[in-house]
Amino acid sequence: MAGAAGVLLVMAAGLVVAGEVGAGRLGGAGAGGAGGAGGVFSGRTELLEKLRMTQLLGNATEVEVEFPADYPNSVRHFFLIGFLAQLLTSALFFFMSLRKGHESMPHALAWLAPAIGALAYLAMWAGVAVWYKTSDETPRVIFWARYINHILGTPIILGCIAIFTSAPLPSIITLLGADFLMMSCLCVGAALAGGHKYTWWVAAVLLFIGIVSTFIYRIEKIASEQTKQVFLVLLRILLFCWIAWLVLWLLGSEGTAALGLSQEVGLTCIVDVISVAGLLLYMLVKVDAADDDKPSKQSGATLT
């Protein structure tokens, strides 16, 4: 089963890369291309693509915009990198769960978050559920798959952390519900134009404060000093990622559009990968280390 899953994951990644190569976006620019002129990050090609996107955004009523055809090359590269990073992270977490002597709830849940992220990045790379929004002050590009990823994936991340700290079920439900509503508020705000959208951003910030308050309250309830130290590290990573998402929403296409499309997509990709490959991997390593220190392992499923 594990071998078959690994083969399928490699095949999926190979098909995506092959599609990029076949389309001429990776490697040489064409049959006559040679040397650095046909490289992946050709400066001239990147500049021309950015100028083309700028022209399109400035003439939304005259030129029909289609995705993924009108993506800048850098945006497609970031989506591909995000897909491969999330896919490999999900596969790693899945095999870590299989290698354990007993199945723990954090391991059983952790691989789902990057798996959802990988599907979301693959959808964005393919131009699925991408909205060219012309109702705002300036034309924007909204990626609905990003919100599906955050609405479904971030509660899993918070749930894993809460279970790791042996949080009671009411606290877990509170965290998951607040996070679901927070990401939903950002999604609704992205669909609106004008000043009303910032009301939803403020609501998301208030819900985020509630999430942080719940976690801070949990610190005093953790009996193990070792678990408490690990939790503090997880909390710092969590704060960085969640605050970064709020700031990127405000500066990106959903908010003021102060960032360019490539900058927004690239920074969001980095934060998304950190939230799973960094936060969850650190937690699972600590869970395995704690289990190795135990004199005997339990049989059957446990919370930690």
Residue 34 lies in a domain: no
Residue 302 lies in a domain: no
Domain count, the chain: 1
% pLDDT > 90, the chain = 58
Closest CA to 83 of 128, 121, 110: 121
pLDDT in tens, 71-99: 999 999 999 999 999 999 999 999 988 88
Q: Map residue 302 onto helix, strand or coil.
A: strand
Q: Domain containing 218 — which CATH number?
A: 1.20.1070.10
Which has more pLDDT, 1 or 86?
86
**How does the average pLDDT of the chain come out, rounded?**
80
Residue 278 lies in a domain: yes
Residue 26 lies in a domain: no
**DSSP label at 138?**
S
- Predicted pLDDT at 31: 37
Please state the φ and ψ torsions of residue 251, each to the nearest 5 degrees: -95, -10
Contact (Cβ atoms closer than 8 angstroms) between residue 116 and residue 58: no
Which has more pLDDT, 79 or 32?
79
Please give the average per-residue pLDDT across 100-121, as a whole number.
87
Q: How far apart are CA 32 and CA 37, in angstroms?
A: 10
List alpha helices for the chain, DSSP H: 2-22, 43-58, 73-99, 105-110, 112-125, 144-164, 169-191, 196-219, 225-251, 261-273, 279-293
Closest CA to 77 of 45, 100, 109, 37: 45
Residue 303 lies in a domain: no
pLDDT in tens, 198-226: 999 999 999 999 999 999 988 888 878 88
Q: How far apart are CA 165 and CA 159, in angstroms?
A: 10
CA atoms within 13 A on the CB side of 78: 20
Neighbouring-strand partners of residue 267: none
Residue 28 lies in a domain: no
Residue 35 lies in a domain: no
Residue 113 lies in a domain: yes
Q: How far apart are CA 105 and CA 101, in angstroms?
A: 13
Token code pair at residue 267: 């920074």
Domain coverage including residue 120: 2-20+40-293
pLDDT in tens, 11-24: 445 544 444 444 44
